[in-house]
A and B are shown apart, each in its own frame.
Chain A
Amino acid sequence: MQPEAVSASTTRGPEGSRARPGIPGWLATLVLLLPTYGWLFIAVLLPLCTMFVFSFMNATPMGKAPIVFTLRQYQVFSTQPYLLGIAWTSLLMGFWTTFACAVLGFFAALALARATIGRTRETLLILILLPFWTNGLVRIFSWTMVLREGGFLDDVLHWVWPGAGSIGFLYTRSAIVVGLVHGYLPYMILTCYIALVTIDDAIIEAAASLGARWWTILFRILIPMAAPGLISGAVLTFVPVLGSFMEPRILGGRVGVTMGTVIEDQFTQAFNWPLGAALSFTMLAVVLAIFATFSGVLRRGSGAVA
């Protein structure tokens, strides 16, 4: 079947089979990888290693207090069990945001790839990406004006149906998800679009001519082919959402407490870097675990390398 053939060939590289003089294969790979990973290593990974060491300390290592190493920051989920509730809420929030982005984004990408052409398509793509370029804080604050009681949402409602109550839902979990989806949807649309835009019309026409209904086409052809886009979109959404703190703070009010805000508190208010670091690395471990399981499932499911 076509998808398998495509995925099989993408794993093979055009090297080794012909004896070519000049740059040896391994050197080419090194040249390609070194600048990027070297940069990442020095700029991000080494600093994060310092943070990792911090996470085993008793208190923030500045000033004259002696440094004491301890595991207690990592035991915080048992010493302060309310954190488990917060972690769970954050995971749910991440899940719902990613799911909403996936559904909305996939169909938007599909619509772009199959219902628009040329200039219109490109203009729409740019329009979809542009909100990205506005400052996050101003954007989220503008959502408060839309979602609050008596805000724009209520104004629209009262214009259509005067005398109705308020549908403003600012300072609720839903408001946070709306803000998050708004911020991350363009990622998902773009990655799904990249995956979908290369789908050959012929496949769809062939399937249709063989009597496949639209849902078969959707679930057996389109979604699997968009899988790489859905996956990278999910990564780019779920992972940062877990650690987000602006949307929960500004849109959540009293209910805006997530792992992200707790971690931020440790760094800006409580000045407890070891705890903040420990929480972040725990979160990272959870994320890696989720992806490990997920990609294992994928690998077995489709035969393609995730």
Chain B
Amino acid sequence: MNTTRRQTLGLIGAGALAAATSSLLSRQARAATKITVLNWQGYGTDEAWALKAFTEKTGIEVVHDYFSSEPEMLTKLRTNPGVYDVVLINSARSQQAASEGLISPIDFSKVPNATGLSPELKNHANLQLDGKTNGVSWVWGITSLAITEGSPKPDSYAALGDPAHKGRVALFDDAVTGVAIGALLSGQDMNNPKDLAVVTEKLKAFKPNIKLLWSSEDEWNKAFAAKEFDLSIFWSGAAVRSKRNSKLPVEFVVPKEGGIGWLDSLSVPATSTNPDAGLAFINYMIDPDFYFQWATKVGAPASANAAAMEKLPADDLNRVIHKPEYLKTMTIQSALPDDRREAFNNLWQEVKAFYAA
């Protein structure tokens, strides 16, 4: 039929047009790939200079959304399918998110920098579910004691109840940390203490010393700067920042019971529309060059990438505080089943009510 030639020409023409448009579109799409990262505010992934470098290198644009608590992070993941491409998840929550189908297993072939990760951290039990690793270890730190420089160094968490510090102690307002302190002081496993009554007792004994409870680094900084307390529970990375950037006279001390460790990981939400771009971003986040800048310019927790840590000068505050031997006495917070978490929360609420009475 004579329409065949017209049809064929038309098809070729349409095909050419389609090919041209699609390559044009995909080039535009590549240039306009946008990923949304869900994280704490001011926690490394939103450093302006880093984002600029990343976008220049890969053409991927990065936008952020923030949460101010872990339950909130989970809520946002659940109620916003398709919105996020990278999410920061504390390793203690990783299994929960994975079992709910919120995050997908990591394709390490797309994360070349992962070869430098410390093996204990890369495959840590917390990040595994059903034999698959669902997050890339990113940064870790220790929650432990902080004392005003010049004061005698405490050697045990029991110092929190020492009459020498009456009314000069600040605790971190967090149930899991509180229970951990009580557990460590009573020789129990902080992730699964069997005797909660003794934990409560230990914590309640601190009452005359406690002046306030802080729930953010900024709150700690402002109160410490105003000299409201001398001894406190604090985060190692935050101690680096407070000392280096805000010039506060604080010293970080890990007592004999060991530090309360945490490990943060970066994961890709299962509903992400740009998982490869997300993985590229994660790869950049564990890049030793990025870490070097972040740690020296701004202040960062310890990197899970041993190669990155080694890039730091030997006397760097970050390296000094995150001594490798602490990894031996440190217990990393792990996943808590719901009923245990609820028990911890209620315990902490009771302790706080006791402090307030």
Contacts and interface: CB of A to CB of B under 8 A. Distances in A.
A257 B342 contact: no
Nearest to A151: B226
A65 interface: yes
B52 interface: no
B226 to A, nearest CB: 6
A185 to B, nearest CB: 25
A268 B349 contact: no
Interface string A257-281: 1000010010111111000000000
A59 B338 CA distance: 9
Nearest to B71: A271
B356 A86 contact: yes
Nearest to B170: A253
A272 B343 CA distance: 11
Contacts of A62: 74-75, 78
Contact of B349 (A64, A80, A148): A80
Contacts of A269: 69, 71, 173-175, 345
Nearest to A170: B228
Interface in A260-306: 262, 265, 267-272
B353 A82 contact: yes
B345 A171 contact: no
Contacts of A44: none
Contact of A272 (B74, B213, B345): B345
B100 A171 contact: no
A89 interface: yes
B99 A64 contact: yes
Contacts of A85: 353, 357
Contacts of B68: 268
Given A171-B211, A254-B356, A270 B345 contact: yes
A203 interface: no
Contact of A268 (B71, B338, B342, B352): B71
A272 B342 contact: yes
Nearest to B79: A62
Contacts of B355: 254-255, 257
Interface string A78-93: 0010110110010000
Contact of B353 (A64, A86, A267): A86
Contacts of A150: 226-227
B210 interface: yes
Nearest to A84: B353
B354 interface: yes
Given A254-B356, A269-B345, A82 B71 contact: no
A76 B319 CA distance: 47
Contacts of B210: 254
- Taking residues whose C-beta sits less than 8 angstroms from the other chain, chain A's interface range is 20 to 34
A84 B187 CA distance: 32
Given A253-B212, A254-B355, A63 B100 contact: yes
A257 B353 CA distance: 6
Contacts of A82: 349-350, 353-354, 357
Interface string B74-112: 110010000000000000000010011100000000000
A229 interface: no
B289 interface: no
A171 B101 CA distance: 44
B71 A254 contact: no
Specify which of A150, A252, A253 lies most central, judged by the most chain B CB atoms within 10 Å of its CB. Answer: A253
A242 B218 CA distance: 27
A227 B316 CA distance: 67
B230 to A, nearest CB: 14
Contact of B213 (A63, A254, A268): A254
B338 A254 contact: no
Given A62-B75, A269-B174, A253 B338 contact: no
B187 to A, nearest CB: 26
Nearest to B344: A270
Nearest to A148: B226
A186 interface: no
Q: Which residue of B78, B349, B355 has the most chain A CB atoms within 10 A of its CB atom?
A: B349
Interface string A147-168: 0101000000000000000000
B72 interface: yes
B233 to A, nearest CB: 14
Contacts of B99: 64
A256 interface: yes
B87 to A, nearest CB: 15
Contacts of B7: none
Nearest to B207: A254
Contacts of A83: 353
Given A62-B78, A269-B69, A255 B356 contact: yes
A257 B212 CA distance: 11
Contacts of B101: 64
B59 to A, nearest CB: 36
Contacts of B346: 80
Nearest to A267: B71
Interface string B320-343: 000000000000000000100110
Interface string B188-218: 0000000000000000000000111100000
A62 B99 CA distance: 12
B211 A254 contact: yes
A148 B212 CA distance: 13
Given A63-B96, A82-B354, A148-B228, 17 more contacts: A63-B100, A65-B338, A82-B353, A82-B357, A86-B356, A171-B211, A171-B212, A253-B211, A254-B212, A255-B355, A256-B356, A265-B345, A268-B69, A269-B71, A269-B173, A269-B175, A271-B70
Interface of A: 59, 62-65, 80, 82-83, 85-86, 89, 148, 150, 171, 252-257, 262, 265, 267-272
5 contacts: A63-B78, A82-B357, A85-B353, A148-B228, A254-B355
